[in-house]
Structure 1
């Protein structure tokens, strides 16, 4: 009976011992995982984390082992060594990159199948052949357990390999260890990649900040609150006349105006005491050139992991010009006022000269032309029999040239007299304006069988004479530049611009109401590339022998529209006619539209 009672006690003790062993191993596994997870969270270097995983693995397995992390190159489909711990020196030396191949070593198999692969005995394992098996046995590595490193997206990152110097087959706990270790390695790789990206972004941000500060003519600086030494940008070094790399606080204070030093020190101490913002304006005297300038400085106290201030970092800007005395500013304003008065006087003088030119052009220049024309007509009419054909042709050319010169001068006079000083704005019925112009061109309209299509046009406040000149020139052009094989068709229409349409034209006042008028014809047209040039004075697209004119008409149109705070432009194509668009304010120059 006593022996029968000892049996269950022995089994219970064995179960208790086994439970304790597994419980201890589980706690060991969990503790190691926590320590390594902390290292990963701190973004410690990958070699340090690899060494920690190797130590944790040795402790859990109670065996000498080494680990190696292989990274997968997605382009070449080869595994390359990323990090190792406790492997014999020279193991990977001169070894070729391992292909991702299920038939090559257990880590090649793990990479291909994306499952754990075990080589309990490298010497006899079918996957370990050739140079890989020889190299492992040369360094007395007899077993290898491999697990794939898989990203969150399911992509192969690489392989974790655990090497043993004795043959070894994993149990269930060992398999959990391999899987968990692979997950930790994958997390460490991702953490290090994020760290590299963050560092690269910080460097890029710092470079961009330095470039922005350079453009803004601002300097940057950092003060180590433990050593009270400062580093600074080239601009601050130039302002203070400081050494090239860094300077002590005493050296910097020595460059600050004597009357401002105590205030600067107090501002620094206050910022440190309150862990807050440092902001002060003071005068600096360059240590070398003795040049004085005023700078505005702003910074912030940075805290370390323990919440203690360790760095004061900020920027500075030269505000010497902004802090000029009121007397200097008044003097500057007075100087500018004098210059403006002189410029106005020059402008008035130039305007007087222009008026004199207008007078000369209207009287002195036209009088000789009238005489040339007059005497040319006498020669042609009374002495024609005394001239041969060549002489008569020369006189006709003289007479034509005199008439053309007279026309040009009159056009130039009209252009120079056209200004925006005429404020006699009245309500103008554009329908009535068009009717009068059609009457003026009655002979041309009848001779060319021209047709008009005029819709009801809007009424605007404008200078009547100028508006009449505007449409006289546009309709005259439509009749002049018609095609020979078909009669002119002229369409004139108007509409009010919608609110959203005004945004298209930055020159227009969005608070004003505008009327857009279109004068469209079926004439010869022109290339759209000349749509701006046609409004330049004396600019012609056609030879005057083909189409007579002075090249002033459209320039007059543009000036009239601009006098009314409007806009004019043209759209055309060769052989397809032209449409002129005129946008005018409905209420002219009235305030508040």
Structure 2
């Protein structure tokens, strides 16, 4: 085989050529083993000779490359992204004589792209013209791929760190050198230009976290430990004073002697998480307190309930049939009403403690409630072997999958009361019948009073008038006095019969009710009493009065009697002053016997006078017929007027009250319902 040096050095002696050829073969063998290729380019003839490694890398066969190929054959196989740069570097090396170095990708047919590193140099003739270009080329594909993977991993790590807004740190425990990323400095409130060391790191920690964090770092440096570092701490910005919560993670690395030589890791701002955690913790605490309060309130309500309440869970046999109930919860009413302790009921089975439920049907009702989900109620008589006996009213509601809540009351007393009420109702019916008969008798009396009793009076009055008018000259003074007394007694008797008739009619004769203006009623009454008011020189001060639902004639009787009394019972040498007003009644203004109606809307009409007055201890007597507090000889009347007032007020759904003081007048208060209260 012809030596590759024969063409370049034609005058070389054979022995020297053989030696060089042998050395070339040995070098080529070594280069092949190291994936190193060589090339030789005759610039003038543009022929490039390469060893087998070079031809393989560029995808050139041994036959095609045996006599050399143009440089472009090889440069055309360079990756398009790398080709311009490689061509430029070759041109620069040719022009300057400097060493040529380049790394690039080779794309050969039927092979994967390869990364190579080339190094070579040009040789020149005496005129400084390039004549040869030789060098070596190394296949660095594996190293380059590893480098690219490392760079990719580093970029991904950097991207992840940046995305998570994490900072990094690297500390050399042997030299004390500490390196922080800009983000780490930011989390300690420092500018990117700030210099850092371990003492500065400790100063940047919250005083309450400083010792604990330093101990965690020192533990990571201990031989035999894992070197892991995982801690949360607070920082107070050294320049901005801002408080931040930090999550730090790191790893210490040890040499063969077990000494930590590197400590590196990351830091992340978890301030928002901590704030959210604090808010969540507070809400959980508040909700827990609220639930505890609600549970306490519920328990309080249950225990305060007069009803007995038991929560139970069904007990089923192997076939799924409900055979009993476990009593889980019972309120105080259950405990007290059965004279038991809680452990005698809670946790026990229903039929063990209350076996009577099976016989009286309550048990079957509970089973239906669980099976159908529909609540039920029942009233049954209960009796068991332990002596519990009586009437019970129960209601049952399903709770959850297999539970039931039972509310029950012992209504034995109520049952007895119902029997007594039934008996009372019968007696009341009999009393009403008797009252009806009495009213009929009273009505008959009224008819007699209106006709039969008044007829003799009219005769007496007629005869006394004849004696007084026709025989006055023939009568002595004594006889005339007797005639006047007869007339006066007849007039009093007629007035009494008239008032009795009015009083009885209020009880026996219904009247039609409708809206009545009390202002109009009062106007009519004052018109009727105009002469008396003028004679007495009285002052009557009235305010606008409301309208009520009632009977105008009866209400006229009420006001006429009240005002007539105020005009009658006056102090000597004092003109009567009467004030009539109205306003919405307040609860504290109702009389004691009428307090049950204090929550309903009523008008209070007051008739106030400056007359005689009376001791209030006698106020109940003045509304009783024929009861008089003042001398009948001095003050006329039958003693029925105020009784009529009371009956009129009561027949309208109201009442009447009075307050008085001797010598300071009286105030009558009439309470009447408001029409259609809103």
TM interval, short-chain normalised: 0.3 to 0.5
Larger Rg: 2
TM-score by length of 1: 0.44
TM-score by length of 2: 0.39
Bigger relative CO (Cα 8 Å, ≥ 6 apart):
1
